[in-house]
A and B are shown apart, each in its own frame.
Chain A
């Protein structure tokens, strides 16, 4: 009866000696491995395993069975007589007999469960690989960010240095330029030929232009690296100030037609020099980019609560893409410049001056109505 139970058990059973030699194996064991009981007896249990299993047996299983007296749920691949793998779960127990120690082994087939476990294992390995990838990417990103901020800091330092240099150079250029203007003024007073007058006129006009550029540069550097542009606001007659400015601009741009329109009545409290500078820059801009045969209109408008000045010209439309950056430094309306063109700071300074007066500048440009810059104070 007990032999029947042993042979017909729903699992493979074996008894081995301490060194793994099989002393007894049940029919199920024979059936699973395709070896008869006689063939099994005398062979070592570990020799029926795959190579990985045999190493594992030597390094883990055998020492564990000896020291702890039992092992449970160890998964092993056994080799069938025909070479295919049989995946089993092994439980083992040490039993002391009178003359020797034996191990009772029970094996359970686990092929389907093994497939599932392998899928789980693969999923875990995949997750770990992805995590590793993610970590590596994050590290790379951090490094890139660090490099970027370093590059940004370097660029900042360079920009500051360049702007400071511009400030120093433009300041230093003022003195020789003043000397040139004084000398040409002095020469004008003497008796000159027509040709000489013409040449002196060129010198005066050119040094006037250079002076405006330097003034722009100084304002620019003051706005950027200094404490900002400063103003001295006082009550003034805006219409008169603009009229005077337009008169002076007519001398500076003799070929252009400048018209002044004064609208409304009211008070204004502004820095007269700076208002003149705004009009100067806007008119220079219109002369440079507007239609030369059409008049440029300068409007001063006074109201109860606010005042504004506007400069209008006909001519090519300012591209929509350019409008957004028009008031940034070094921006130009077009590459086709005229001789009156400045370094590209004029509109930037207009905006800074408008803002320091608590106002702002706006532009509208279309083919029918032309281009209008409006500064509201």
Chain B
């Protein structure tokens, strides 16, 4: 299988350690455009599109495999295996923070550290747990997804599917941003927002940087604080930002926090 084609993998930068950027629900790797360039001088940078998103190979979308986040975690480990050099730090936005957690549990020790941007181990409220959402909110989201193809139609599908992997952010990638085949988008929404990864997070031993927006509907403060509590090896960093994408709307603050956290791995060349 051609991973580069399946996940539209791009590799940039130079360094002794690798940053793997994994985007969240709704978008593609283009969302890293504001943050990733800050690291290419000291790290090898790997970005990819989750299967079903961006310019990934839509024909690789297997309903059963991607019926849980484990399928995505499996892909992530394959990408790490094929493209990473040296220690791996996973930078995961939103649901990808949990995909990274699952990948870590599948192959313990392979991921040296996690940067979690707006993470949430469970979106729906539970006994003694505040996720921020009710089940009916998620159904409402599925309804909204149903009404919005965002310009996606079956006519443009072949263009997306046939596109070869592009290393840099192309117009095509920009064009495909937030556009997903409706059925795939709905399944991913279900898998994302109905998942419960609280048990997977407990026992994660690798160092974790939690980047928490000060005002985030999707991952409220209580959730970031919860994660900081259950992850003993975690650093909690509150970023002054409105919205769920601080890496897009407050990239400097995010980069600064990450530079501090990543210092132990930021060696360019020993020679």
Q: Residues on A close to B: CB < 8 A?
A: 18-20, 44, 46, 50-56, 58-60, 62-64, 66-68, 71-77, 114, 117-118, 121
Contacts and interface: CB of A to CB of B under 8 A. Distances in A.
B147 A55 contact: no
A114 B147 contact: yes
B144 interface: yes
B133 A74 contact: no
Nearest to B143: A52
Interface in B99-143: 133-134, 136-143
B30 interface: yes
Nearest to A62: B243
B140 to A, nearest CB: 3
A98 B143 CA distance: 39
Given A19-B242, A74-B148, A67 B140 contact: no
Contacts of A114: 147
Interface stretch (B20-28, B35-43, B68-76, B253-261): B20-28
Contact of B218 (A44, A55, A118): A55
14 contacts: A50-B140, A52-B139, A54-B217, A58-B216, A58-B217, A59-B25, A59-B94, A63-B248, A66-B245, A66-B248, A67-B174, A68-B174, A77-B144, A121-B146
Contacts of B178: 60, 63-64
A71 B179 CA distance: 12
Given A56-B144, A75-B148, A62 B244 contact: yes
A265 to B, nearest CB: 84
B222 interface: no
Interface in B137-167: 137-148, 150-151
A55 B141 contact: yes
A59 B26 contact: yes
A58 B241 CA distance: 13
B241 to A, nearest CB: 8
B217 A55 contact: yes
Contact of B243 (A19, A56, A74): A19
A56 B244 contact: no
A86 to B, nearest CB: 14
A75 B150 CA distance: 9
Nearest to A47: B217
Contact of B147 (A58, A62, A75): A75
A214 to B, nearest CB: 62
Given A19-B242, A66-B248, A67-B248, A59 B218 contact: yes
B145 to A, nearest CB: 7
A69 B57 CA distance: 26
Nearest to A54: B217
Nearest to A122: B146
A63 B245 contact: yes
A249 to B, nearest CB: 75
Nearest to A18: B249
B268 interface: no
A52 B133 CA distance: 10
Contacts of A53: 140, 144
Contact of A63 (B26, B134, B137, B216): B26
Nearest 7 Cβ contacts at the A-B interface: A52-B140, A59-B26, A19-B242, A51-B137, A52-B141, A52-B144, A58-B244
A68 B178 CA distance: 10
B252 interface: no
Contacts of B33: 67
Contacts of A66: 245, 248-249
Contacts of B98: none
Interface of A is mostly: helix
Given A46-B217, A67-B248, A117 B137 contact: no
Contact of B245 (A62, A72, A77): A62
Given A50-B144, A63-B31, 9 more contacts: A20-B243, A51-B136, A52-B140, A60-B26, A60-B178, A66-B245, A66-B248, A74-B148, A114-B147
A16 to B, nearest CB: 11
B61 interface: no
B177 interface: yes
Contacts of B193: 55
A114 B216 CA distance: 30
Contacts of B94: 59
Q: Which of A56, A64, A71, A121 has the most CB of B within 10 A?
A: A56
A18 B178 CA distance: 19
A129 to B, nearest CB: 13
A63 B144 contact: no
A59 B146 contact: no
Nearest to B31: A63
A60 B182 CA distance: 13
Contacts of A72: 151
Given A56-B145, A58-B244, A117-B147, A63 B27 contact: yes
Given A52-B144, A53-B144, A63 B177 contact: yes
Given A54-B217, A75-B148, A59 B140 contact: no
A118 B141 CA distance: 15
Contacts of A44: 242
Q: Which of A67, A68, A114, A117 has the most CB of B within 10 A?
A: A67
Contact of A59 (B24, B30, B133, B138): B24
A191 B188 CA distance: 104
A19 B248 CA distance: 12
Contact of A19 (B31, B140, B249): B249
Contacts of A56: 141, 144-145, 148
A286 B134 CA distance: 86
B14 to A, nearest CB: 26
Nearest to A90: B148
A347 B203 CA distance: 83
Interface string B169-211: 0000010011000000000000001000000000000000000
B140 A58 contact: no
